[in-house]
Amino acid sequence: MCGIFAYSGPRNNAPLLVVEGLKCLEYRGYDSWGVAYQAKGDIKIYKKVGKIGDFKAKDHKFETSSLAIGHSRWATHGGVNRVNAHPHFSENKEIVLVHNGIFENYLDTKKFLEKKGHKFISKTDTEVIAHLIEEHAKTHSFEDSVKMAIKEIEGRYAIVVIKEDENKIIAARKGSPLIIGVGKNEFFIASDIPAFLKYTNKVIYLDDNQICTVENKKISFFDNIKEEEVKKRIIEIEWDIESAEKGEHPHFMIKEIIEQKDTLNRAINQDPKVIEQVAKEIKKAFGTYFIGCGTAGKVALVGEYLFAKISKKHINFAFGSEFPYHRQFLTNKTLLIAVSQSGETADTLEAIEIAKEKGVKIVSIVNVESSTMARISDIVIPLKAGPEKAVASTKATTSQLAILTLLAYACNGGILEGKHLLINAASQINDMINPRYEDHIMKLARKIKNVESMYIIGRGMNYPIALEAAIKLQEVSYIHAEGFAGGELKHGPIALISKDTPVIALVANDDCKNEIISNATEVKARGGYIIGVSPENHEVFDYWIRVPDAGNASPILNIIPIQILAYQLAVLRKNNPDMPRNLAKSVTVK
């Protein structure tokens, strides 16, 4: 959610470099953007509403500069307009700031500053921070003013600040990611690694309550709670620029769907010692929770079913946002397993913080191994999926499902059995991700592209996949889609069925098969158009999409044709599947 990019170094095209960095962060979601830079002793600002991707160098002549900051904004306080877009000036126009997160107590601070004579031009909480730093700067240095100001901020934030008469960048974070890219005598500051990956793969991770100052080709770090300098280490990451680009594909979403041929195998190829260690922790814990938000939450719910069936263990499930209401059940014998792609989801991080206060051991299943979530966990299981830039998660989802399946088998002493099951499932993905299979799904997409509503039903392990299928369709096609447990249809939802209403039935060759086919038959009797996702064709299906028979890995293979269908519907309906409206890749605010 929102994107920050800043540069300090020898290059004299810093404003354009920042624009290009923000383009790499478009997947995070935004509605306006802007750049601020130092030029001839002044700070210049350029702001626009709309897409960064539409901007060309000829559209605006930036002056020469070697220091610049930029931001892509998703509106939280104040409407979508140029005034509310970042960066924001202080009242005296000497301090400029960009900000991710929410300044929860900004109204009280704003009233205090207004009494001091400050006048505000925007409706944002961000402008208040710039004015607050200015107020402290009347009697303190620039750096001390930033340190003092952020101590007054309640909520999660990432800020980057520059001042007119000082050739330095100051950045600080709490709960919202900021990463420093380290080049040769130059530094990049960004919300995510792909923004500067073409320049360097050497990074420093800023931790909560830490401040970094970049000045004269040097960087320093300060802990604002302990009030002391801190040393940070440089880490080389394994991602390459090709993995973060679309290549020959029209969108990241279809690229990442296709990559599941490889990413699933990488997810399966885990260090067996780590899997066994987590299995041991699950077996000895007095109460284990799976948590996640959005798609990761649906994956965590599948985990509850997997463990019940495979290892005969009861695991609790809660969405990250709902987990705080379970805090009374937490003890130092509880285990929390958090699932995430980014490792920066605000609600999941808050859940982990609550758990840690109770002495709970934390395991994270996460794609970004250097994320906040990974760094505060006791054990990390990496997805190894590589950068996932489409907002709608695909390859990370199936990798998460694979790891939970592997853990369920490990808890039953059958880690090799689980691995063989998953390897077999992965080998069959080639039968699904190919032009002929995609053409077959495209015929269906063309048939249903103008529907207003559709439904997905499943049972057992495929009930959460029905919920996830609905998310995929909602996110990118903007069709009203809902997922239901098949047995719940007759308790209300079947009233929504009318002639030709599309209903997708997720079927596996398991003990739920007959029941879900029966549920589909009930729907068809009311005029529904039945789309079967199943290893076998059934008489009740009006349209059949074949999936391999994968046993307990059926949730992994059953979601893939829905991913393809969602993508195709988005394209047919002229939506951008990579950047769906109102959504962001990483939800870093509550």
- pLDDT per position as a tens digit, 413-426: 889 999 999 999 99
Tens-place pLDDT, residues 150-203 = 999 998 899 999 999 899 999 999 988 899 999 999 999 998 888 898 899 999
Q: Which residue has the higher pLDDT, 467 or 247?
A: 467
Whole-angstrom distance, CA of residue 394 vs CA of residue 442: 18
How confident is the model over 203-214, as pLDDT tens digits?
Answer: 998 988 999 999
Here the tokens at position 116 are 């001091």
Cβ 566 vs Cβ 472: under 8 Å: yes
- For the chain, what is the mean pLDDT? 92
Q: How many C-beta atoms surround the C-beta of residue 15 within 10 A?
A: 28
| Spatial contact of 228 and 209, defined as CB atoms under 8 Å apart | no
Q: What is the pLDDT of residue 50?
A: 84
Q: Give the chain's length.
A: 590
Asked if 206 contacts 6 with a C-beta cutoff of 8 angstroms, the reply is no
Residue from 447, 456, 472 nearest 560 by CA:
472
Task: Give the H/E segment covering residue 482.
Answer: strand 480-485
Q: Before 382, cis peptide (omega within 30)?
A: no
AA identity, residue 192: D
**pLDDT more than 90, % of the chain:** 74
Burial class (CB in 10 A: 0-12, 13-18, 19+), 58: exposed
CA gap 360, 354 in Å, rounded: 9
The residue assigned the tokens 């970094």 is 212
DSSP calls for 373-436:
HHHT-SEEEE-------SSS--HHHHHHHHHHHHHHHHTTT-HHHHHHHHHHHHHTGGGTSSHH
Q: Put residue 562 in one of left, alpha, beta given phi > 0 → left and psi -120 to 50 → alpha.
A: alpha
Quick check: 263 pLDDT over 90?
yes
Query: Other C-beta atoms within 10 Å of 417: how many?
Result: 14
Task: Provide the H-helix boundaries in 287-344.
Answer: 295-310
Cα–Cα–Cα angle for 50, 52, 57, rounded to 5 degrees: 125
3-state secondary structure 15-69: HHHHHHHHHCCHHHCCCEEEEEEEECCEEEEEEEECCHHHCCHHHCCCCCECEEE
Binned at pLDDT 50, 70 and 90, residue 587 comes out as low
Please, which residues bridge with residue 203 across strands? 181, 235
Q: Which tokens hold the place of 209?
A: 């309550």
Residue 129 in this model has a pLDDT that exceeds 90: yes
Is there a contact between 37 and 67 (Cβ–Cβ < 8 Å)? Answer: yes
- Is pLDDT above 60 for 590? no
Of residues 116 and 54, the one with the higher pLDDT is: 116
The mean pLDDT value for 430-455 works out to: 94
CA distances from 322 to 256, 326, 334, 354, 483 (A): 30, 8, 17, 12, 20
Is the pLDDT assigned to residue 589 strictly greater than 80? no
pLDDT of amino acid 369: 85
Active site residues: 2, 585
Distance CA 485, CA 519 (A): 10
Task: State pLDDT tens for residues 498-557.
Answer: 899 999 999 999 989 999 999 999 999 999 999 999 999 999 999 999 999 999 999 999
Give the pLDDT confidence score for residue 501 in this predicted structure. 93
pLDDT at residue 79, as a whole number: 80
Domains recognised in the chain with CATH numbers: 3-243 (3.60.20.10), 248-427 (3.40.50.10490), 432-579 (3.40.50.10490)
Distance between CA 565 and CA 560 in Å, rounded?
A: 9
Each residue's pLDDT tens digit, 64-82: 999 999 998 877 777 888 8
